[in-house]
C-alpha cells in the first residue's frame, strides 16, 4: 500500500509541474507522429518490473481518436508463493493494442485509452532454469491516461488487471502461482 501511495504522489507532482510549465501556447492540433517510445515502472501485488516500449500509430493522423500498437520488453521480479517465499526473476516480450480518445487543450493534450495485451516470458527461480519449461504467459487489460505538455513528451499512468499462466499444467513446484493481480504503471512516452 505504501508503494501505491508514493507512486500516486509522484504522478500528482509530475502532472502539476507539467501544467505549471505549459506557459507557451503550442498548437498541438497540428502535431502528428508515427512512432512512440517510452519507459515505465509497474508494481502489482507480488511483483515489480520496469521496461521499455516501441509503438506505431495505426492511424494516418491522430485527431480525436487514438489507435496504437506497442511492442514492449519488461524485466522484473517477485515471488511465486504466498506462504513460503519463492523469489523469481523474469524477462518478457509482448504486444499491446491501445484504443482511446484525445482532448486538445490550450498548450496540452490529454489522452484516455483502454488497452489489451499479451506477453511471453522466461523466468528463473530456485530449482528452475531461465531457459527451461514451463514458461510464463501474461494477459492484461486496463486503461490509462497520457498527459502531454511538450511537443514530443507525455507522462502516462495505467491501471490494469493481469492474469499470469504457466505453459505446463503441472505447476505444483511453484505453489499457489498467482493467477491474477491488479497492476499500477507509471512512465513516459516520447513521440517521433
Return the pLDDT at 79. 78
Identify which of 9-18, 148-157, 165-174 has the greatest average pLDDT.
148-157
Average pLDDT over residues 43-59: 91
Average pLDDT over residues 82-111: 87
Return the pLDDT at 154. 93
Q: What is the mean pLDDT of the chain?
A: 83
Return the pLDDT at 52. 96
Q: Is 22 exposed, middle or buried (0-12, 13-18, 19+ CB in 10 A)?
A: middle
Q: Is the pLDDT of residue 14 over 50?
A: yes
Q: Is the pLDDT of residue 190 over 60?
A: yes
Structural contact between residues 122 and 90, judged by C-beta atoms closer than 8 angstroms:
yes
Return the pLDDT at 166. 83
Return the pLDDT at 82. 60
Collapsing DSSP to helix, strand or coil, 157 comes out as: strand
60: confidence class by pLDDT, cuts 50, 70, 90? confident
Q: Is the pLDDT of residue 9 over 70?
A: no
Return the pLDDT at 170. 66
Cα–Cα distance list, 97 to 55, 130, 140 (Å): 9, 28, 11
Q: Is the pLDDT of residue 4 over 60?
A: no
Return the pLDDT at 1. 52
C-alpha to C-alpha distance for 29 and 167, rounded to whole angstroms? 46
Amino acid at each position: 500500500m505504501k508503494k501505491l501511495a508514493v507512486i500516486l504522489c509522484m504522478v500528482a507532482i509530475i502532472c502539476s509541474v507539467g501544467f505549471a510549465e505549459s506557459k507557451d501556447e503550442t498548437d498541438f492540433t497540428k502535431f502528428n507522429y508515427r512512432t512512440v517510445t517510452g519507459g515505465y515502472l509497474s508494481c502489482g501485488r507480488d511483483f515489480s518490473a520496469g521496461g521499455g516500449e516501441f509503438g506505431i500509430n495505426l492511424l494516418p493522423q491522430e485527431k480525436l481518436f487514438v489507435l496504437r500498437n506497442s511492442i514492449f520488453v519488461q524485466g522484473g521480479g517477485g515471488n511465486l508463493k504466498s506462504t513460503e517465499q519463492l523469489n523469481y526473476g523474469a524477462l518478457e516480450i509482448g504486444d499491446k493494442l491501445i484504443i482511446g480518445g484525445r482532448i486538445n487543450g490550450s498548450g496540452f493534450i490529454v489522452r484516455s485509452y483502454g488497452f489489451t495485451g499479451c506477453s511471453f516470458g522466461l523466468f528463473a527461480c530456485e530449482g528452475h532454469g531461465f531457459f527451461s519449461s514451463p514458461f510464463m504467459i501474461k494477459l492484461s487489460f486496463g486503461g490509462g491516461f497520457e498527459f502531454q505538455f511538450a511537443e514530443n513528451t507525455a507522462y502516462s499512468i495505467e491501471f490494469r488487471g493481469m492474469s499470469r499462466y504457466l505453459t505446463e499444467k503441472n505447476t505444483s513446484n511453484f505453489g499457489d502461482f498467482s493467477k491474477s493481480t491488479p497492476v499500477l504503471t507509471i512512465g513516459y512516452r516520447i513521440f517521433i
